[in-house]
Every structure is written in C-alpha cells, then in structure tokens.
Structure 1
C-alpha cells in the first residue's frame, strides 16, 4: 500500500476549516489540544475550548457545541493564552536590526542625541504597523507600545492609527524621549488627545503614561504622576537601568507617594534590596526584557531578585532595533539567564545546583497572565478561563520534527517551539491567523511604509553615518598572554605538539 504524499493529499489532511468559515459571531471550538489554561484548571490533555462571541464559553473534553460551530482540529498542538508583551518600542520596528551590535550607550546616542528627531509621523505609523503585524504573527495578541517617540500630536495620532489598523489588542504608553514629561503630560493638547482617541474601559486599545524618573531632588516628574492619577492611567517607567535610572528614582517615587500597584518598572536590574522591598510593598510589577538586558547592558535580568521578593513579573522584547516581537525568545532567554546565574553563583561557592528554582511553567505564566496583570487586564485576558475574552494561540506544525512528541507541554513551548509553529491566533474571539497565514492584508502596506522610512533615514543621515550606525567601531581588545607555545599551527598532525 502506498501513501499519497501529493500537495493535494497533504492539504486534505489539514484542518477542515477554511478562512471564510470564521465569520464574525460564528462560534469556534478547538478540538483535541493540549490546553495550557494558566489557571486552576492546569493542563487539559486532549482538551476542547469553545468560543462564543468574543469570550471563552467552556473548556473540557468532548464539549457539546452550538449548531453551526466551526471546528479547528488542534490534534498534536498546544493551545495557550495569547502572549502579552508588556514593553516594546514599536515605532522602532521601522529600523529593524540596525542596532544588532549596539550597547545601550550607542542606542542612547542614536535615538536621544543624534537621530531620534528624524522619525516623522509616517515613520511612527510604519514602525507601529509592521510591529503590530509581526506581534500577531508570533502569537503575541496584546502589546504595550512603549511609544516614547511621540514628539508631536501628529506622531501620537499616527501611532494610534497604525494600532487600530490591525486586529490586535494594544496599550499605547504615551511618551516623548525628547521632551520633559512634566511639560507634555500636563498640556491641554495631550489631555484632549487622550479624550479624543481613547474610551475608558476599552480593553482593545488602552492608554498609559511612559516616562522615566531622573532622580532630580526636586522631583519634577510629580506633575506627570499627578496627571496619571487625575486621568486614572497606569504608569510604566524604566527603572534600575545601569547608569541611567537608580535607587534615587525609586526613593523619590516612594517619598512622594507615587509607588502603587498601577506602576510597572521596566528592567529593574541594578537596584538595591531596599528598592525591591519598596516595589514589593506597594504592589508594583516588573517587565523583564531579558534579551535586551543580556545584550545592551541595563544589568543582569533580575528574575532571581524578583522571585525572592515575590514581585510579579511580565516579559517583553524592548526594541526591534535589536530584537523581534517573539516572546518565545523572551521565555527562553529569561529561563536560561535565571538558571545560568544560579549555577554560576553556586559554583563560586564550590557548590552544585541539583534542583532548578525557576521552571518552564513559570515563564509561560509570565508571558501570558503576568503580562495581563502588568496591564491591569488580568480579569479580561491572560488565561483560558470561561468568561474571559478569547485571546488564544494554537501552536501546531505537522511539518516540524520539533513538534512531536509533546511530553512536557510547558517545556515544549519554551525550548522546542518557535514563532514558525504558530498555527492559529485568535484575538477577542476573532481568528486573525490560521494555518500559519495571517488573514488580514496589512503586511504589504507595512513593508512599503517601512521601506520608505529606511530610505528617509539613510538619505538624511548620509552613507557614512548610516554605515557607522549599523557597524559601530570595535573596541580595542586586550589579549591575555598564553604561556603555551606550539611548533606550528597550520592544521597539520603536529598542531598540538608542545615545543621542546
């Protein structure tokens, strides 16, 4: 007996549902998945999840469903809550990868001192649009856009326009790295913008304030915090960034009464025990950007400290000038960096770690429910719980040898799966990606817009500065003198033979 392996036969064995079946309002059921509920229900093997309208109706096995329900065959896949990125400078996606070899100082020079002003409203739109599409494609259903490139209200409107052009869930964290928060946040124009573009209680598009505390003893940021309190907005701030924001920033927030559960501290790497105690005591959370922290120099990812102080954690990717919108990378690097530090500390004590404290389940929770908690949306999204909004991701790839067998579901998400294995993405009850293909047509628009932004930067900066930004100068290296010498090093048989 021969097996038909033709493309037509392969297509016939895929899920029976077609994109046109996912009509608005039609119930959807995911069948026979390994379901990671990230709530008290834990892992449901061979489980079903029924979605009616924009909400999760039921979870279990062999669920009875309404007539006309479209079925998604999730056999061999993992169904999990949509991932949530709690800190990403989305407009910078327009210059994807330019800073692959940057340090944090070089990033500051490029964005704050030299070239940040080159971002026009259309460039913010381009970066946000591409970033939003990329997030959905990678299974990130909610992103906090840490938008500190909003030099004018035109820039801000462009940012919101791009987010609303895609079917994801977003929070605009309004900021302006080239301005003072106590000035732009208190302006009548900003308050009018907030009233015009945002609706209180809208969980599809939210607003926060994004600014850092300089440690100026006069605490000028007070006025921005007061605006956040007046408008009932959460605040997200880069804290504990080596050489930039310090324990004095935390102390000033504490002394002035602005450390609350509505504050997210981004990075929080280079803080004292006292600062961690203050964050824990006031109910704040920390957004960990481990790939950024490991590469750029904000400090070592602080999850080992956050675990000790029982501080809530969410995960983020920071900037596509360096990295992507891929929270698989965030989970993997966070778990690896926490364990590496624990092993190294033990080795320095001449000890051996025999049990890992941080587990794969923990970082999956941080990438989902942890993000929802950081955004104040944990009653709405973040877990597969009946009654919550239906933000779901099916990880399934029958063509990938890495997707079989699934023995440890949480470990599989973290160490085996990747963005290419994201089969289906649902946001607010609507399928936005199916059978590995996005179902909306904004990618071509985003590509064209970002191409124009790249040309604008390259032309305005000039070829010399453009190349210097892409390929920063290598530092002078100091080599250690090697006491061992060899007769030759040419790949011959005597290459390891010591000199006599």
Structure 2
C-alpha cells in the first residue's frame, strides 16, 4: 500500500468513509472502505485487505458518494463564462441564436468544451451531457468531440444546431458519417443524443429527425415547457406521432399542462431541471414541485456557464430552496402554514446522481456505490475548511454546506482524475491558452463597445410606488422635539 500520488492502473482504496451508496434505500455506511480495481468498484466493507501497491486515501471525516451527473449543459458557451450574468432568456436567444452564435468557429467550440469538461471533473461531475446546439458544421462537431475525448471524464454529446431546422442537418449523409466514425461502438464513456426543440411548427417537420434517432437507436433530448418558446403543441406532436419514447429527456419542463405532464410520465420520460436557469432566465418556475405530483423522474443540470457555474452543489441547493419556496407560497395563499417539508436533502442528492444515471440509461453502470459497478466516485473532504466538520447529516451537509472546493478526490471509470484537491493528468494551461485565443477573437469581432454592451444590457425602468409616509422637512428640529 502507498500514500503517494495516483499512478496509472493503480488500485485505490478509500478508508473509513461515510458512504452515501445512493441505492434504492439511500443506505448510509459509516467507517467503511471502498476498493477500486480496474474500472470497477471491487469491494465494500470494513478493514478491507487490498493488493500491494494500492493507493490509500484517508476518507475519515469525509463523504464518499457516486459521481454527480449533469444532464444538460451547453458546454461550448463556457468560453464566455459569466458574460451573460445579467441576461434574460430573450437576450440569450438574441446573442447566440440570432447574432454572435454564428461567429463561433470550430476552435471556439473546442475551447469551451475543453474548459467545461475540465470544470466538470474538478467539481465532482463525472458524467456531463454536452447539449451542443452550436454545431453549425461537421467541423464544429469534430472539434466538440475532440475536446470531450481529451478530458478523462464521462460525456454525452447531444448533437444540435440552432441555426437550421433539425430535419435539415440530421438527415444529411455527413451527419450519419460523423456519428458512425466518432460514436458508434464507443461504449459508456462517450454517449450520443439528438438535441433539438419543438416550437410547434405546422406540419411537424421534426418527424424526420425523430426517424433518424429511431434508425440510429439514440435518445432525444429537448427543451420543453419553456415559457412562450416550447409548449404543449410540441408535446402533442410527439405523442400523436409515437415519438414520446422511454428515455426521452425533457429539459426545464416548467410551463406544461397537466395533460403534457401525464404524457411524459406515461411514456417513460425524464425531466432535466436547471433550477438556477429557470430562476434567472424565465423558462418558468423550477418544476420539481409539479413533477413529483405526476411521478416524472428528475435529474439536475446547470445549463450554461455564460450565466452560472458547472457546480452541481449549487444546483442541489437551488433546487431544494426553490421547491420549498413554492411549498410555502402555495400554503400561505390558502392561509396555511407548512410544518413538514416534502422534498428532502437526500432527494436532491438522488436527483444529482441516480436521477442522472437513470435518465441517461446508465443506471446499471454508474449512479450508486455498489460492488461491480463502474467506479465513478467523489470524496468530499476538506480538512482546511471550518465548514468541513462536523458532518451530522451527510445529505444536508452536501446540499447546504459543501461546494466544489471541498471535492478532494474524483475517480472516473476507475481512474483518479483529481486527488488531494488537485487535478490529475489535465493540462489546464492548454485550456487557458485556447480560451484566451477565443476571447481575443470574439472581442475583435464585436468591437469594444459592442463587447461591453453585451455584458451590460439596459436596465428597464422600475415602478416605484408613492410613499405616503415621509419625514418632516426639518428633520433636526423633529429630532430635538423627541
């Protein structure tokens, strides 16, 4: 056994961890060892005997959990991290869909994907869906995939192109050739989806795209229930034509009718909730409070780093907060008081792990800590933080106390990719250089004034009510009379 840094192919054992197994019973194991050998979790128990040369990781005082899963992130936009912090969804659409999104070159998509992929594993997100709707050409798609394959995480390319109808790009020989070359037979480390939306176009031209998905045997992910953008019309088109199939992921799903929610539940669909996005951008109120009433399983996602982080800790926290706000709000409207919460901390940890593995069809592979499963594991431990102890309620600690800086060790497919709070085998300097080049290019394309204006949209006038309660003009005299 050794305490040195990780070596390629080296077995790893976590010692004396508090293990959130995320099995169906949400079992918590204390003082437990977890041994990783090859790609898989070999054994779980106490005082495990391990092979010579095994890397020992002291997990006492920490939480060992399955790797987190993000089912919807526009990774290509990470090059512009934080640029749209004050945007609305309308401003986002104008920027990416109508104007500047068309300026992104393949190397810019590569840069964003590369940084986002690194950011994922650094934050303990071991599986990330790249909802890549900026793939204007096959060259853009090649660049996006190159970046994903360069980083030692588990990824899914959700192929999309917002600048054409999905029935145009998905039916080309070039697209099919790309899929066959880059994804067919790649296994569970690099998955594939078709990513497109249904705004309710008359004649249902998206039918051709669904047929491509069916022929290739790949799932569909779609932004559904987005206020004034995608509505029940698109859901009805899918349902009436037999395309609401098990494994379809409905992103946001915030503003749909009861009938649409029933259809999603009945056909084996999944929701991807991006709570920070829904709270800020205006897709609709974060819908977990609705989805659970219809029995629709939930996964979590961060949407885009042009606004928010790639940190699923933030997603868990925001989701639990938003659900509870609505619970109180609805009760207060009926002059009632909530005395017991329905959604619990362990539920949103489930969303962040098993919710994602089930949605992606990977639940037999990852999503829980069990012998025989692929070893996608995250150790949350920070002995240098006053917030690292005590850990009394492990689920509550993850949701309300922990953050990405507390991620001590990350294992993906049995490989240590972060250890002792440092990334392993990742060239961050290369990513920084790629991002710097992209930002220099985009700034030059915009011009300085346009670049600044994009970050600082005009603030609308806000209504301020007249206040009938005013101080006397002679405040000093008033004070003296007290």
Instruction: Please report the RMSD computed on the Cα atoms of aligned residues, expressed in angstroms.
Output: 1.7
Cα offset for 1:25?
Answer: 2.6
Q: Residues of 2 paired with 1:41 and 1:353: CA distance?
A: 25
Aligned to 2:215: 230
Residue correspondence of structure 1 range 54-453 to structure 2 within 5 A: 54-200=39-185, 202-453=187-438
In structure 1, how many angstroms separate the alpha carbons of the residues matched to 2:437 and 2:53? 45
CA distance in 2, matches of 1:204, 1:184: 25
- State how far apart, in whole Å, the 2-side matches of 1:487 and 1:141 are: 62
Q: Deviations over 1:331-358 (max 9, x none)?
A: 0000000000100110111100000000
Residue number among 471, 474, 479 corresponding to 1:486 in the alignment: 471
2:4 matched residue in structure 1: 18
Tell me, which stretches of 5 or more residues in structure 1 are unaligned? 1-14
TM superposition shift of 1:65: 2.0
* 1:66 CA drift (Å): 2.5
Which residue in the other structure is 2:35 paired with? 50
Structure 1 residue ranges, 4+ long, deviating more than 6 angstroms after superposition: 492-495
Any conservation in 2 of the 1:246–1:271 contact (CA below 8 Å)? yes
- Which residue of 441, 451, 454 corresponds with 1:469? 454
Relative to structure 1, is the Cα distance of residues 78 and 482 closer, same or farther in structure 2, using a 3 angstrom cutoff?
same
| Number of positions where the alignment pairs a residue of Structure 1 with one of Structure 2 | 481
Query: Does the CA-based 8 Å contact 1:219-1:252 persist in structure 2?
Result: yes
Secondary structure class of the residue paired with 2:276: helix
**TM-score, reference length from structure 2:** 0.97
- Whether the 8 Å contact between 1:94 and 1:126 is mirrored in structure 2 is yes
State the Cα deviation string for residues 327-384 of structure 1 (Å, max 9, x = none): 0000000000000010011011110000000000000011011111111111101110
Indicate conservation of the 8 Å contact 2:2/2:54, yes or no: no
Q: Deviation per CA, 1:410-433, whole angstroms, max 9, x where unpaired?
A: 000000000000000000000000
> What is the CA-CA distance between 1:199 and the residue it aligns to?
3.0
Contact 2:2 2:53 (C-alpha < 8 Å) held by counterparts: no
Unaligned runs of 5+ in 2: none
Deviation at 1:488?
6.4
Q: 1:31 aligns with which of 8, 15, 30?
A: 15
Q: Secondary structure at the match of 1:394?
A: strand
CA distance in 2, matches of 1:123, 1:488: 60
Cα distance change, pair 337–493 in 1 and its aligned pair in 2 (3 A): farther
C-alpha contact (below 8 Å) 1:133/1:442 kept by paired residues: no
- The alignment's TM-score, normalised by the length of structure 1, stands at 0.94
CA distance in 2, matches of 1:467, 1:174: 31
Determine the C-alpha separation between the residues in 1 that align with 2:304 and 2:471: 46
SS of equivalent residue, structure 1 residue 163: helix
Distance 1:247 1:41, change over 3 A: closer
Q: Distance between the aligned counterparts of 1:450 and 1:412, measured in 2?
A: 34
Q: CA deviation at 1:68?
A: 2.7
| C-alpha spacing 1:494/1:323, structure 2 compared with 1 (3 Å) | farther
Q: Is the 8 A contact 1:88 1:316 kept in 2?
A: yes
Q: What is the CA-CA distance between 1:16 and the residue it aligns to?
A: 6.6
SS across alignment from 1:401: coil
